[in-house]
Chains A and B, each alone.
Chain A
Amino acid sequence: GENVEQHPSTLSVQEGDSAVIKCTYSDSASNYFPWYKQELGKGPQLIIDIRSNVGEKKDQRIAVTLNKTAKHFSLHITETQPEDSAVYFCAASLLNQGGKLIFGQGTELSVKP
Chain B
Amino acid sequence: DGGITQSPKYLFRKEGQNVTLSCEQNLNHDAMYWYRQDPGQGLRLIYYSQIVNDFQKGDIAEGYSVSREKKESFPLTVTSAQKNPTAFYLCASRGTGGPYQETQYFGPGTRLLVL
Contacts and interface: CB of A to CB of B under 8 A. Distances in A.
Given A43-B109, A49-B102, A49-B103, A101 B43 contact: yes
A106 B41 contact: yes
A82 B105 CA distance: 24
A103 B102 contact: no
Nearest to A101: B104
A49 B107 CA distance: 18
Nearest to B107: A43
A54 interface: no
Contacts of A4: 42
A16 B12 CA distance: 42
Given A42-B108, A43-B90, A43-B109, A100 B103 contact: no
Interface residues of B, number: 30
Interface string B23-38: 0000000010101000
B58 A100 contact: yes
A99 B102 contact: yes
Given A98-B31, A99-B31, A89 B42 contact: yes
A51 B102 CA distance: 9
Given A98-B48, A100-B58, A45 B106 contact: yes
Contacts of B102: 32, 34, 49, 51, 93, 95, 99
A99 B31 CA distance: 9
Interface of B: 4, 6, 31, 33, 35, 40-45, 48, 50, 56, 58-59, 90, 92, 94, 96, 101-109, 111
Interface of A: 1, 4, 6, 32, 34, 36, 41-46, 49, 51, 89, 93, 95, 98-106
Q: Which 5 residue pairs of A and B lie closest in terms of their CB atoms, listed nearest first?
A: A103-B42, A43-B106, A32-B102, A103-B43, A105-B42
Given A42-B108, A95-B102, A99-B101, 11 more contacts: A41-B109, A42-B109, A45-B106, A46-B103, A98-B48, A99-B94, A101-B45, A101-B92, A103-B44, A104-B42, A106-B40
